[in-house]
Structure 1
Amino acid sequence: MVKVVSRWIGNTLLLLLAMLFLTSILLGYQSHKHPGQIPSFFGYKIMTVLSGSMRPVLQPGDIVIDREPDLTKFKVDQVITYKREDKFITHRVIDLVKKNGVVYYKTKGDANNVEDNKLVAPQQVVGDYAFHIPNAGFFLEFARGKLGILLFIILPAILIVLSEVFKDKRPKKKGRKDRPYPQEDIV
């Protein structure tokens, strides 16, 4: 029973590591191919919160997951992410301002005393807040560093290779379970 549970846990961890590895390769490729844009995964964009401007909803170190923006559905009190001067900012829409037939967004961080000094144009909006993962940004930033790559990619890869190399060296049990079919079925 213990072997079955430990094998199941090991296979689950292996699957999670493989998914994390493939996701990191995909996001890394997207970052390299399109610098200055947020990499997306199945239409969702992943960003780390760096400031406390959206406290208490979002804390520094949280991960924000945004979906593709639908500019026709934005309304007051919605949280959006927009790009301004090579920075991505996640703030709440506090007003919609129509100028020359175009709707602009007045935004403000929840913890800020004043609204943002410039209106946000529709083409600046890069994401519509979907949800966040508390404190996961610290882990993500660690995983992107040299030590994180060593611990989460290289070391598990070495362990997987070693486990496969030594798997065939273990003595196999003889018995009915190792046969491809029951003995009675052979004619």
Structure 2
Amino acid sequence: MKNKRKNPSLSSVVGIIMCIIFIPVIIINLILIVSSYTNPEEIPGVFGVKPAVVLSGSMEPTIQAGDLIFIRETDPNKLQKDDVICYLSSGKAITHRIADITTGEDGRLQFITRGDANNAEDQLPVTADQVQGIWKGGRIGGLGNFILFMQSTTGMILFIVCPLLLFFLWDIWHRRRLDKAENARTKELEAELNALRAGKETEKEKPDIET
């Protein structure tokens, strides 16, 4: 009886662990995917933090190709020289360092950028509306390729469909396990009650002994 009482608690712990692992992954992945479709002109992010995959080595050795970096939303007016910013150019995310800050003919702020590994500044200045955020050092080496895979069709199946399926299958298994345990416990109680009733009936049938 003791083992049967421990099993449900163990399965509950497993369920909690699965929720902790899978639910945040599903939610974050869904937010990134939906954001990329609803607002394709911006890098999707969560709570002001935008993950970006570095595809080139223009910022080496500070940032390596294939790294996953974390861009934080910022006010372009507060950017300074030597800040590393991420901006969109022709739909492509580029992360370079600010070499100079100027003002265009229309009076709008412009940023002259350059990659740390490049010998020359970028040809086109970056406008404030192109800036996606500032990079302050957060990166995970080599994780960029995994992120690109996760956003592919195969990746979405593995990291959204499969976790949901596993969670539902575990929930079904867990409920059936609890039902079986409850049914077994009910049968045991019924057997005990029947035994008690049979004992009482036996006592009643015993003849009285005169003293």
TM category, shorter: 0.7 to 0.9
**Partner SS, residue 114 of structure 1:** coil
Does the Cα contact within 8 Å between 2:60 and 2:117 map onto a contact in 1? yes
CA distance in 1, matches of 2:11, 2:175: 19
Q: Does 165-174 or 24-33 show the bigger shift?
A: 165-174
TM-score (norm 2): 0.71
Q: Are 1:118 and 2:132 matched, yes or no? A: no
Q: Give the one of 163, 166, 174 matched to 1:159.
A: 166
Q: Give the one of 32, 36, 42 matched to 1:37.
A: 42
Residue 99 (structure 1) shift: 4.7
Q: Give the one of 49, 52, 61 matched to 1:56.
A: 61
Residue 120 (structure 1) shift: 1.8
Q: How does 1:9-158 map to 2 (within 5 A)?
A: 11-99=16-104, 102-130=108-136, 131-158=138-165
CA distance in 1, matches of 2:55, 2:46: 21
**Partner SS, residue 126 of structure 2:** coil
Which amino acid in 2 is paired with 1:62?
D
CA distance in 1, matches of 2:50, 2:15: 30
CA distance in 2, matches of 1:105, 1:160: 48
CA distance in 1, matches of 2:108, 2:164: 52
Which amino acid in 1 is paired with 2:69?
V
Structure 1 residues 172 and 65, CA, compared in 2 at 3 Å: closer, same or farther? same
CA offsets per residue over residues 19-46 of structure 1, 9 Å max, x none?
1111111221111112232112112222
Structure 1 residues 166 and 84, CA, compared in 2 at 3 Å: closer, same or farther? closer
Gaps of 5+ in 2: 1-6, 186-211
Which amino acid in 2 is paired with 1:158?
L
Residue 89 (structure 1) shift: 1.2
Does the Cα contact within 8 Å between 2:15 and 2:170 map onto a contact in 1? no
TM-score (norm 1): 0.79
Does the Cα contact within 8 Å between 2:11 and 2:174 map onto a contact in 1? no
Gaps of 5+ in 1: 175-187
Residue 8 (structure 1) shift: 4.2
Q: Does 94-103 or 59-68 show the bigger shift?
A: 94-103
Over the matched positions of the two proteins, sequence identity in percent amounts to: 34
Larger radius of gyration: 2
CA offsets per residue over residues 130-154 of structure 1, 9 Å max, x none?
4222222122112122332232222
Which amino acid in 2 is paired with 1:120?
V
Residue 11 (structure 1) shift: 2.3
Structure 1 residues 168 and 87, CA, compared in 2 at 3 Å: closer, same or farther? closer
